[in-house]
Chains A and B, each alone.
Chain A
Amino acid sequence: MKRNLFWVGLIALILCLSVTFLTGCAKKAAVKSDTATTQEQKAVTKAPSADDQAAAAAAAAAREKALREQALREKAEKEAAAKAAAEKAKKEAAAKAKAILKELQIPDIHFDYDKYNLKPEAQAILKAGAPAYLKYVDYKLVVEGHCDERGTVEYNLALGQKRADEAAKYLADMGIQKDRIKTISYGKEMPLDKASNEAAWAKNRRAHFVIFPPVK
């Protein structure tokens, strides 16, 4: 690293010296050649002396450096483009996955107090929700059974399991393979609404559906 810095410094010094030399002593030559684009190039074409040779080497190094930089720049641009494309693809995939999840999402179904039979509106929800699972066969489903706060911990765990079982059975009857559906009861331990009134209880007596995307 240090060595590189030394060489870069040296080249820069030589360049400066040659520039002062050329602008000071070879004004006529410089005037002659209008087409030259840079003073360094003029120096290369015009001065084959010992000093000129050093300058030429320095200029070559500089050109090489410029080329290298451009190559790097191009590479970076290419990479950025590829990355953008990948990101776009990823975003599209995510959007697609999100759309699939949305398609697969079954809203909560609700139950009467101390009951686990599926009410007609619950059956309608399950009927509408099942076809997506027949379409996306890699996705799995966990049915959570929940209860309101009234009653015993254990009896409610059993009741929540029954609610989950009933919903799972209905979905299996709609054609979703049994091994894609798992059930879990949380009893009354995870209410949506902690209030102690009929509205909260009605909200809490539910089966909730959690989608499990395929593991890649």
Chain B
Amino acid sequence: MQILVRLAISGLFLLLLFSNSPAYGKVYIDIDSPSFQKFPIAITEFKPLGPGAATADFPVWFADTLSRNLLITGYFNILDRRAFLEDPIRAGITGEGTRFADWVTIGAEYLIKGGFQTDGRQLITEFRLFDVVKGELIVGKRYTGTTDDKNRMVVQFANEVLQALTGEPGLFDTRIAFVRKTISAADIYTINFDGSDLRRITNYNSLTLSPRWSPDGRQLAFTSYKDGKPDIYLRDLASEKTEKIISYPGLNLPGSWSRDGARLLVTVSRDGNQEIYDMTVANRLLQRLTREFSIDVSPVRSPDERRIAFVSNRNGSPQIYVMDADGANVRRLTFEGNYNTSPAWSPKGKMIAYEGSVNGRFQIFVISEEGGNPQQLTFAGGDHESPTWSPDGRYLAYSVRGFGRSRIEIMNANGQNSRVLHEGNDGCLSPFWSSHLR
């Protein structure tokens, strides 16, 4: 599947329309700052650039699809097209025919214009992003493909817009794995960042839990009871082959991968008590990291892979601890609350997200990797659990359950703009965000 996507993408001939303005790639605004204001942006209906087949719905389709893709990032305030002053018939889609003052008047800071041309199944599209205040083109692209590629063209340009305005490409090529639990079974599913393309990965009529995406996005490690006990499996997503990799008596749970995909942190009960080990995936050799007669579980690596955060109850209640990569130098990170679990280390470093109990309900927190000053990010009713960072560290996905419903939500890392990724009557649990998949 991934290969298919990759082929399709490379099939899009990508032409730079104009030499990039110097502004390209520069970060305009620090979107991670708490005072960040959304980008006010106007997106016009796309113009037919020549005679072509019947494509009456294209002008609105392109504008709407691009709007939707930008909207879910949480960074944009999309202006209502009915407020536009410019006459779309007379105005062109280049900077020359654009009266920027009209756009400033209605409050836009950015403007996207575009056009398309069809010839049978052939489709050529042009997209331009303008800085309205400066009256400059920021980025312009022309894509050539077939009408089947139009969604991919929009996503591609949305990535360009995000790269230009935020310094990072979008997350449209990432997926989120999670567990869907019914009365009799739990299985792993994956879904796109925008909530589309839900896929079922396992179907064992058993309990299958704790999905952990490999860094290259090609494999999922997970625990399944499919052979009667909780063992660790590795699923190759392209070939759909599944291999049992760890099967000690008792509990076997996967933790986080190393960035090169060569090692996987695991919790296993090999030595009589459950402990955290670093496993070399190729030969399954285990290096023991913890030696405590307590619960030690849910290990995650720091982005520099020098430290590991994990959950332990060695002082009575479950708390987040940090140790060196070899298990030395253990120190406690969380002190507030009597139940702090599921650490997730931001890929940008510095912050660790986790869930903590507040008045008997779980909420998502972040804390500095040095400890101290935990910040609560969610406040709604229900239990908010299992935070996972997007690969750019700008979003958190987590599960919410309560009131008979269960869902996976995504919010910006500052706790704003939460949206539902997937919702059901079944349990939606343990989300885990992939890397960029192409």
Binding site for B on A (CB under 8 A): 114, 150-155, 157-159, 161-162, 164-165, 182-186, 189
Task: Report the bound CA distance from A158 to B273 in whole Å.
Answer: 10
Beta-carbon nearest neighbor of B316 in chain A:
A114
Q: Is the beta-carbon distance between A114 and B274 smaller than 8 angstroms?
A: no
Number of residue pairs across A and B with beta carbons under 8 Å?
A: 78
Q: Is the beta-carbon distance between A154 and B230 smaller than 8 angstroms?
A: no
Q: Is the beta-carbon distance between B298 and A161 smaller than 8 angstroms?
A: no
| B192 contacts partner chain A, Cβ-Cβ < 8 Å | no
| B429 contacts partner chain A, Cβ-Cβ < 8 Å | yes
Q: Is the beta-carbon distance between A152 and B386 smaller than 8 angstroms?
A: yes
Given contacts A153-B210, A184-B230, contact A158 B274 (CB under 8 A): yes
Q: Is the beta-carbon distance between B386 and A158 smaller than 8 angstroms?
A: no
Task: Report the bound CA distance from A150 to B355 in whole Å.
Answer: 12
Task: Report the bound CA distance from A153 to B430 in whole Å.
Answer: 8
Residues of A within 8 A of B163 (CB): none
Residues of A within 8 A of B186 (CB): 189
A-B contact pairs, 20 of them (CB 8 A): A114-B317, A114-B339, A152-B341, A152-B342, A153-B209, A153-B385, A154-B209, A154-B253, A154-B267, A154-B298, A154-B341, A154-B342, A154-B430, A155-B295, A155-B318, A158-B311, A159-B295, A161-B251, A184-B250, A189-B181
CB < 8 Å neighbour of B250 from A114, A154, A183: A183
Q: Is the beta-carbon distance between B297 and A158 smaller than 8 angstroms?
A: yes
Binding site for A on B (CB under 8 A): 179, 181, 186, 207, 209-210, 229-230, 249-251, 253, 267, 269, 273-274, 295-298, 311, 313, 317-318, 339, 341-342, 355, 360, 362, 385-386, 429-430
- Measured between C-beta atoms, what is the minimum distance from A186 to chain B in Å? 7
Residues of A within 8 A of B297 (CB): 154-155, 157-158
- Among B249, B298, B386, residue most surrounded by chain A Cβ atoms (within 10 Å): B298
What secondary structure prevails in chain B residues at the interface with A? strand
Q: Is the beta-carbon distance between B230 and A157 smaller than 8 angstroms?
A: yes
Q: Is the beta-carbon distance between B251 and A185 smaller than 8 angstroms?
A: yes
CB < 8 Å neighbour of A153 from B250, B313, B317, B386: B386
- Measured between C-beta atoms, what is the minimum distance from B80 to chain A in Å? 43
- Among B181, B186, B249, B269, residue most surrounded by chain A Cβ atoms (within 10 Å): B269
Residues of A within 8 A of B385 (CB): 152-153
Q: Is the beta-carbon distance between B251 and A114 smaller than 8 angstroms?
A: no
Residues of A within 8 A of B341 (CB): 151-152, 154-155
CB < 8 Å neighbour of B249 from A114, A151, A152, A183: A183
Residues of A within 8 A of B386 (CB): 152-153
Task: Report the bound CA distance from A153 to B210 in whole Å.
Answer: 8
Task: Report the bound CA distance from A183 to B269 in whole Å.
Answer: 10
Task: Report the bound CA distance from A126 to B100 in whole Å.
Answer: 81
- Measured between C-beta atoms, what is the minimum distance from A112 to chain B in Å? 12
CB < 8 Å neighbour of A165 from B207, B210, B273: B273
The 9 closest A-B pairs by CB, nearest first: A158-B297, A161-B251, A152-B341, A158-B295, A155-B341, A154-B298, A152-B342, A185-B251, A154-B297
- Measured between C-beta atoms, what is the minimum distance from B120 to chain A in Å? 52
- Among A114, A154, A165, A189, residue most surrounded by chain B Cβ atoms (within 10 Å): A154
